[in-house]
Amino acid sequence: MVFPLEMGWRHLLFQNWPVDETVLEAHLPDMLAVDTYDGSGWLSIIPFTNVDVRPRRVPRRLGIPLPEINVRTYVTRDGEPAVYFFSLDAQGIASVLGARAFHHLPYYYARISLESTGNQIRFESRRRHPGDRPGVYEATYRPTGESFSAVEDPLAQFLVERYRFYTEAPDGSLRYTDVAHEPWTLYPATATVERNTLLAANGFARPESEPTYYYSPGLEVVAETSQRCRP
């Protein structure tokens, strides 16, 4: 990415599994360490939609929508907590190509639909990226219970209060991007997932435990430019 981006993230489901950290280590660059909570690494799938995606300081009305779903884990480098993405599937071809070229993120083109009816969200994604393993995700989810601040719950804080993500460029270098946003407001959530092949597409078996779910209506985000990590 050659300039900072502003956007909104909306209708997010955080689907999270505890995973043996050695399983995750095999999929990470050497310069990153698995971050653990309660003795486990964590693997997450997050469906949502981006809204008003635009270069920083460009008027909101000129932004574009971009529904997305990503598979990620939680890492540290030099003691700083961050996110590492295994894959990101998104609807827009131009956005996918731009993210791959300028941000070195493993984006894949997909056909995605997100529909909101009352407080219920229907999300469907089917990867259409040429030459890559198929990835399908179909789910219906909604918030339950009362809202809470993620910083008030230790597990939720571990999973969502992250302000840096890492990616590995094609030349093998490690890169990072910092993001800025307000603390997350979350809800307990329930979800019915009919199909999910995204874990298998990234080389993971489906965890045996049931996932922990959180829902967020969303927030506003600024993503800075991609930077190369020093060895």
Q: Give all strands (DSSP E) within the chain, no chain letters.
A: 5-19, 33-34, 41-55, 64-77, 80-90, 107-117, 120-127, 136-143, 148-149, 164-168, 174-180, 185-196, 212-223, 227-228
Q: Write out the residue range of the structural domain in which residue 136 sits.
A: 5-228
How much of the chain, in percent, has pLDDT values that exceed 70? 94
Amino acid identity, position 216: S
pLDDT in tens, 174-189: 999 999 999 999 999 9
pLDDT (tens place) for every residue of the chain, 231 residues total: 467 889 999 999 999 999 999 999 999 999 999 999 999 999 999 999 999 988 888 998 888 889 999 999 999 999 999 999 999 999 877 666 666 666 668 889 999 999 999 999 999 999 987 767 789 999 999 999 999 999 999 999 999 999 999 988 878 889 999 999 999 999 999 999 999 999 999 999 999 999 999 999 999 999 998 888 887
pTM above 0.85, yes or no: yes
The number of domains in the chain is 1
pLDDT in tens, 4-18: 889 999 999 999 999
CATH of residue 85's domain is: 2.40.400.10
